[in-house]
Amino acid sequence: MTGNQRWREGRASYRPAAETIVTAEYSVEALPELDAKSFVVEHHYSSSYPAARGRFGLFHRSHLVGVAVLSHPCSDRVLTNVFPGVPTLEAVELGRFVLLDRVPGNGETWFLARVFHALRREGFAGVVSFSDPVARTSAAGDVVFPGHIGTIYQAHNAAYLGLSTPRSLRLLPNGKVLSDRAIQKVRGGERGWGRVVELLCEHGAPPFGGDRREWLQRALQVTTRVLRHGGNHRYAWGLTPSTRRQLEGGPYPKKVAA
């Protein structure tokens, strides 16, 4: 696969990297939460939306064709380990970056440059992001996510900071990840646990009943399979002279994991 990854309704495609975007036809604007979430859930392969701190839309002649979501990671250390000494709220994660298949191949860099310009104006000092190189397949063997190494981040001169911590993922029959957070909601009876139960039942889990933890164990055995994941590629950008000096990146990865 060559070129730049695009999305539509959860399916990946690629555009030639040498294409040129006609910038006069595009604009970048702050986006309401509902619009950003609807777009990301419909088109991103994960069908999920992070804890957003900022949202920007890429518009082509008033039509929304891309979304960048700036989010806060599950752990502050994701930010502070990269930008030591920088207040947590002055750094952010690029949690979702989704462009439709109609956007020309070099549209990402133009879009991302304008998002970073807006972040600098708002006082942000640094951005981290991750690319997932491990492909996902459905239980039937269909590729639902081909993996990516962060080509756009490399093109936008990010510092490459190696792989994140290896972990195990639980995949549903359709190849989507059942997050640890979703599992914990059921285990602990936390808000939203009923929707997770419904999801598992939709994928063949037995009807819910009895002890919640025992049911969860049976449901996971029936509906999920374990994928060992070697870690995501980690990238970062300094948005100020001092944070740029903090970053010492290594050679960029060139291969998607099998």
- pLDDT tens digits, residue range 110-143? 999 999 999 999 999 999 999 999 989 999 999 8
pLDDT of residue 163: 95
pLDDT-derived band at 21, boundaries 50, 70, 90:
confident
| Percent of the chain whose pLDDT exceeds 90 | 75
Domains, the chain, ordered by start: 4-166+231-246 (3.40.630.30), 169-226 (no CATH)
pTM of the entire predicted model: 0.85
pLDDT tens-digit map of 182-219: 999 999 999 999 999 999 999 999 999 999 999 999 99
Give the model's confidence band at 1: pLDDT under 50 very low, under 70 low, under 90 confident, else very high: very low
Which tokens hold the place of 33? 């939460």
Angle, CA 80 vertex, CA 76 and CA 83 arms, to 5°: 145
Instruction: Please say if the pLDDT value at position 87 is more than 70.
Output: yes
CA–CA separation, 239 and 116 (whole Å): 7
Tell me: pLDDT of 106 over 50: yes
Q: Is the pLDDT of residue 79 over 50?
A: yes
d(CA 11, CA 14): 10
What is the full DSSP assignment across 82-99? Answer: TSTTS-GGGEEEEEEEEE
Predicted confidence (pLDDT) per residue in 45-75, tens digit: 777 889 899 999 999 999 999 999 999 998 9
User: Residue 168 is encoded by which pair of tokens?
Assistant: 């195990």
Q: How far apart are CA 81 and CA 92, in angstroms?
A: 12
Average pLDDT value over all residues in the chain = 90
